[in-house]
Amino acid sequence: MSIFPGKTLKAIAKELNELTQTPPEDIQVIPAEANLAMISAWIRGPDGTPYEGGYFKVTLELGTDYPTTPPKGFFKTKIFHPNVSNSGEICVNTLKKDWKPELGIKDILLTIKCLLIAPNAESALNEDAGKLLLDDYDDYAKRARLYTGIQAQGGKSEYLQLGSKENNTPFISKRKREDEESSSTTTTKPVVTVKKKKALRRL
């Protein structure tokens, strides 16, 4: 049973469809199965940043009162970043005080991508990264690139596969897909017309 009202569920599924069909630059959403409360995506490290060349998996956890309250965001890929804690929790105003119910999954993912371009040292969850960003950017960038090279290489193949035309298909729920597969394998009796019945009697 879904934790969301029908209207919210349809809105989430619709947005996932749109994100799958026309993904934002450097972002690929991982198709959900039955649980729409957990949205995952890959974000490619933007060019010209210490995260360039890396592929970062992020997860959004939607609560029962979404979109009234914002989801929680986490980096599943380890990253050295002022606004990401050692456990992966993301500190970003869009997910907290600046949240508005009309914002959606796309807005959140784009905001997280922007954090990779412009970290905010003033709201640091990783104090070491925040201090280094303020005191010595070159050292901060060097350490961030080191993390990127070690931790953020494994998602490249899945990111590229999700972005291929063959995989750029609309999102459908697991239950709906199972129903469609079941109906497609059901055998039906051939239709015998009146003319065919008369012809068979003459034989």
Active-site annotation, residues: 91
Identify whether the C-beta of residue 140 lies closer than 8 Å to the C-beta of residue 50: yes
Helices 6-21 and 105-117 meet at what angle, rounded to 10? 50
Provide the CB-side half-sphere exposure for 168 (13 A, CA). 12
Q: Which of 128, 149, 140 is nearest to 45 (CA)?
A: 149
Distances (CA, A) of 51 to 61, 129, 143, 203: 24, 14, 10, 78
Token couple for 103: 């914002």
Provide the CB-side half-sphere exposure for 63 (13 A, CA). 11
Identify whether the C-beta of residue 54 lies closer than 8 Å to the C-beta of residue 152: yes
